[in-house]
């Protein structure tokens, strides 16, 4: 895997994520977590720093919404809430859940 291909994939995923939001769809929290993990992978592998990833996310946001993340937050008057994933169903072993 090369740097350009990996960062291009991150950009593609960001554009898809922001486009869904623009169109009124709330992406599942799992999708956001996967995207965040993918971005962390870029930092881990040395493909991009956190600052470079934030800039990439900012550019993707402007491409989709025509404004920065901060401008959009200010206009909406809300702060993005962290979603909570309920992992309670995974407390039981899978062979018990299957029955």
**What's the mean pLDDT when you consider all of the chain?**
85
Distance, in Å, from the CA atom of 95 to the CA atom of 86, rounded to the nearest integer, reads 19
Identify whether the C-beta of residue 27 lies closer than 8 Å to the C-beta of residue 21. yes
Q: Give per-residue pLDDT as tens, 11-27.
A: 999 999 999 888 888 88
Q: What is the pTM of this model?
A: 0.70
The ranges assigned to domains in the chain are: 3-98
Average pLDDT on 51-61 reads: 92
Residue 28 is predicted with a pLDDT of 85
**8-34 CB burial, b ≥16 within 10 A, e <16:** eebeebbeebbeeeeeeeeeeeeeeee
Identify whether the C-beta of residue 17 lies closer than 8 Å to the C-beta of residue 35. yes
């Amino acid at each position: 895997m090369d740097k350009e291909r990996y960062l291009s994939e991150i950009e593609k995923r960001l554009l898809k994520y922001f486009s869904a939001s623009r169109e009124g769809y709330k992406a599942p929290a799992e999708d956001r977590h996967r995207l965040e993990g993918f971005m962390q992978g870029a930092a881990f592998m040395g493909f991009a720093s956190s600052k470079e990833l934030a800039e990439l996310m900012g550019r993707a946001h402007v491409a989709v919404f025509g404004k920065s993340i901060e401008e959009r937050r200010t206009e909406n008057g809300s702060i993005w809430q962290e979603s909570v994933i309920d992992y309670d169903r995974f407390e039981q072993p899978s062979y018990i859940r299957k029955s």
